[in-house]
Amino acid sequence: MTTQAKILVVDDDPVVAKSFDRVLSGKGYAVITARDGPEALEKLASEHYDAVFTDIRMPGMDGLEVAARIKATQPWLPVVIVTGYGSPGNEARAKEIGVAGFLNKPLSPEMIEGSAREAMTRRTGARYAQAAIAAAAEVAAPAEPAAATPSTGRTAKDVALFAAAPFIGLAYALAFPFVGLALLVRYGYRALVSRIGTR
């Protein structure tokens, strides 16, 4: 990695934070720690991070609440839950929140490094998706003159036409078979009349 990826580790156990630092600092990551949820949210509000690893059981705010708050403000940021107390209920709630994954204690260096690498991959994918959405929105948005402001009458007319458009389309769709049938009858009648007239 050319630039250091910043990882925030949220855990009230300093041994876990040291494990992350020991494994990842030599692999191109900068590991920053927070002792609890409020400290983590403070750091996230003031600095940019590439991924967050949070313990699930902490005094005060638990890891799932930390993850939910992060996802509410930075949905693209990968959050990994670290726990020694995995349960189907916690995993279901974590999936609803949108966490990137679960790491079950005890942690091995391979687990830490693999999970960090996967989080970076998710982060990159999320950045590309975000850029694509922004570009699509920019292309789709019509250019508006800076000084022009639509009149109230025109806006009301546009809203009315927008609301009526599906009904107008439906009317055309329903009328089309009858109009086509009427044209067939008309041309058939003309052909029949001209054939009788030539006899």
Number of domains in the chain: 2
3-state secondary structure string across 91-129? HHHHHHHCCCEEEECCCCHHHHHHHHHHHHHHHHHHHHH
Instruction: Give yes or no for residue 84 having a pLDDT over 70.
Output: yes
Distance from C-alpha of 86 to C-alpha of 84, rounded to nearest angstrom: 6
The identity of residue 52, as a single letter, is V
pLDDT tens per residue across span 108-161: 999 999 999 998 887 665 554 454 455 555 656 555 554 444 455 566 666 666
Q: Counting Cβ atoms within 10 Å, is residue 80 exposed (0-12), middle (13-18) or buried (19+)?
A: buried
pLDDT of residue 39: 96
Looking at the fold, whether 136 and 153 belong to one and the same domain comes out as no
> 10 Å Cβ neighbour count for 76?
12
Instruction: Give yes or no for residue 79 having a pLDDT over 80.
Output: yes
Looking at the fold, whether 95 and 172 belong to one and the same domain comes out as no
Looking at the fold, whether 136 and 157 belong to one and the same domain comes out as no
Looking at the fold, whether 153 and 135 belong to one and the same domain comes out as no
Looking at the fold, whether 173 and 102 belong to one and the same domain comes out as no
pLDDT of residue 188: 75
Quote the tokens at residue 108: 């091995």
Q: Of residues 32 and 173, which shows the higher confidence score?
A: 32
Looking at the fold, whether 175 and 105 belong to one and the same domain comes out as no
Give the H/E segment covering residue 17. helix 14-24
